[in-house]
Amino acid sequence: MSNLIDKLGIRRLLNLGVTEELSLESSVRVQLSNLVALLGIFSNIQYSIFFVIAGAPHYLFMNMIHVFVIAFLVYVLYLNTRKRYFLSRIILVITISVPLFLVSTISFGTSGGFYYYFLMFAIVPFVIFPYEEKWWILFVFLMNTVFYLWFEFFGTPGVFAKGTLLYYKEVQDLFRINSVVSCLSFVALFMFYFLRNINHIQKEMVRINDHKDRIFSILAHDLKGPIGTMNTFLGYLTNSLPEREELIFALKELKKSTNQTYLVLENLLDWVRNETKKTQCNPNQLNLSSIIKNAIDILNMQAAEKGIRIETKISDEYLVLCDERMTATVLRNILSNAIKYSHPNGKILIEAKAISSFMEICFEDNGIGMTEDLLEKIIEGKRFTSQFGTVGEKGTGLGLLVCIELLKEQGGSLRVKSNPKEGTKIIIQLPLVN
């Protein structure tokens, strides 16, 4: 069914005017406006044909009204693409109500049951207008209610020429049945669509609350430790005059805490940017060896403190097409994890080779490895609880998730091979320069 909708272009029409800047709720209202407009266009075309076949009174004049209505509804769709949503909604609710009143007054009267549509039009503003435009909701609701009551209590049946299909009561009843079924079907359709998207909004709210809790958790735990360490050593340095060795030790601890705080904040910001779809990817031709060297330089002290040797086998000629900031974040995260989970005096090997149109970069360590459950969560892009490093280092659990998303943004990928107590191999792919 979904494939059929895509092939017919219906989904594209429903999403006219929907942009990333709109909130989910606003997007739903724009989609519902488009849905009502499309249903209106379809109905007017359908009734234009029926009126000619059935010999409705003044059908030429009524079909002229239908042409104007269709033109205005197409204009509604156009206004949505121009982001003029309020004007689009106003024209929509006027266009679907006033012409029907004219058609019913001039031709059908209470015959055919066309005035039942006013009951449907009375609830349309509740799903396409936000609460802030409540006066418009009230106005459109009352207008359509008055139209319905007028025909119900003061309307007269239409007069149809003898010899036409509409002259027969059975045909009039068929039009009445069609009106009732159409009204109920249209109401069910756009209410179902509305409920479907409300469900999406609720899920989005749950996701946002989950992210908020995650952010607070990171701020409360992962930043509290390194900031507390910095505060302790700064207090020690300001309250006494330490010996040279003590001073060097304190400064190293401060630098380590500063690096940890920086990495936590950078991961957090990258994660939030990606989740809110505000990540900007600007691919450029970059030297792979240079980017990896920069990542090693930043984390060299962290590796030296554990006695870990970092060995690279990368040609200086390798060029990749990627976003420098995103790629630097990915490389830094993977290397930081390799250092964190490697045993003291261990080794990390970084290799790169060109495969087809991608550069494949492999980070291999002989550390504590990962369980199958953890690997499965990483592959599926699910959140997981970070393990402590080999000397008690704490992580956020965001690093690899951020890496996966940032690589996807650039057309790359990430794979993980690992066994507990045997080490981990992380393989990433980046597009090569053509």
Backbone angles phi, psi at 323, to 5 degrees: -80, 125
- Note whether 19 and 118 are same-domain residues: yes
Which token pair is 103? 């058609």
Please tell me the predicted confidence (pLDDT) of residue 5: 44
C-alpha distances out from residue 64 to 15, 73, 101, 175, 371, Å: 29, 14, 15, 20, 71
CA angle 317, 321, 323 (to 5 degrees): 120
Taking 50 as the pLDDT cut, the residues of the chain under it are: 1-5, 7-8
- Note whether 82 and 169 are same-domain residues: yes
- Note whether 196 and 299 are same-domain residues: no
What are the pLDDT digits (tens) for 387-426?
A: 767 776 666 566 777 788 788 888 888 888 888 888 888 8
In a domain, 9, yes or no: yes
Please tell me the predicted confidence (pLDDT) of residue 10: 75
- Note whether 298 and 173 are same-domain residues: no
| Final residue belonging to a domain, choices 186, 202, 218 | 202
Residues forming a β-bridge with 427: 362, 415
SS3 content of the chain, % helix, strand, coil (to 5): 65, 10, 20
Please tell me the predicted confidence (pLDDT) of residue 307: 87
> Per-residue b/e over 22-36, b at no fewer than 16 CB within 10 Å?
eeeeebbbbbbbbbb
* Residue 104, domain extent: 2-202
In a domain, 418, yes or no: yes
- Note whether 178 and 317 are same-domain residues: no
Domain count for the chain: 2
Instruction: Determine the Cα–Cα distance for residues 332 and 353; give it in Å rounded to an integer.
Output: 19
- Note whether 58 and 179 are same-domain residues: yes
In a domain, 256, yes or no: no
What are the pLDDT digits (tens) for 42-56?
A: 888 888 888 888 888
| Final residue belonging to a domain, choices 176, 202, 228 | 202
The number of CA neighbours under 13 Å toward the Cβ of 126 is 13
Please tell me the predicted confidence (pLDDT) of residue 229: 65
- Note whether 125 and 36 are same-domain residues: yes
What angle, rounded to 10 degrees, do the helices at 372-379 and 399-409 form? 30
What are the pLDDT digits (tens) for 229-246?
A: 677 767 767 777 667 777
- Note whether 292 and 421 are same-domain residues: yes
Please tell me the predicted confidence (pLDDT) of residue 268: 67
- Note whether 289 and 413 are same-domain residues: yes
In a domain, 332, yes or no: yes
Query: Is residue 68 a contact partner of residue 102, using CB atoms and an 8 Å limit?
Result: no
C-alpha distances out from residue 139 to 99, 103, 121, 133, 223, Å: 17, 21, 12, 10, 54
In a domain, 272, yes or no: no
Query: Is residue 361 a contact partner of residue 350, using CB atoms and an 8 Å limit?
Result: yes
- Note whether 414 and 296 are same-domain residues: yes
Backbone angles phi, psi at 311, to 5 degrees: -110, 135
Please tell me the predicted confidence (pLDDT) of residue 301: 74
User: Going by C-beta distance under 8 Å and a sequence separation of 6 or more, which residues neighbour residue 75?
Assistant: 91
The count of other CB atoms within 10 Å of the CB of residue 371 is: 12
| Final residue belonging to a domain, choices 173, 202, 231 | 202
- Note whether 191 and 285 are same-domain residues: no
Please tell me the predicted confidence (pLDDT) of residue 1: 43
In a domain, 105, yes or no: yes
- Note whether 192 and 310 are same-domain residues: no
In a domain, 92, yes or no: yes
In a domain, 15, yes or no: yes
Backbone angles phi, psi at 259, to 5 degrees: -60, -40
Query: Is residue 431 a contact partner of residue 412, using CB atoms and an 8 Å limit?
Result: yes
> Per-residue b/e over 189-216, b at no fewer than 16 CB within 10 Å?
ebeebbeebeeeeeeeeeeeeeeeebee
CATH for 399: 3.30.565.10
Query: Is residue 378 a contact partner of residue 388, using CB atoms and an 8 Å limit?
Result: no
C-alpha distances out from residue 73 to 34, 42, 292, Å: 9, 10, 56
User: Going by C-beta distance under 8 Å and a sequence separation of 6 or more, which residues neighbour residue 241?
Assistant: none
Please tell me the predicted confidence (pLDDT) of residue 142: 93
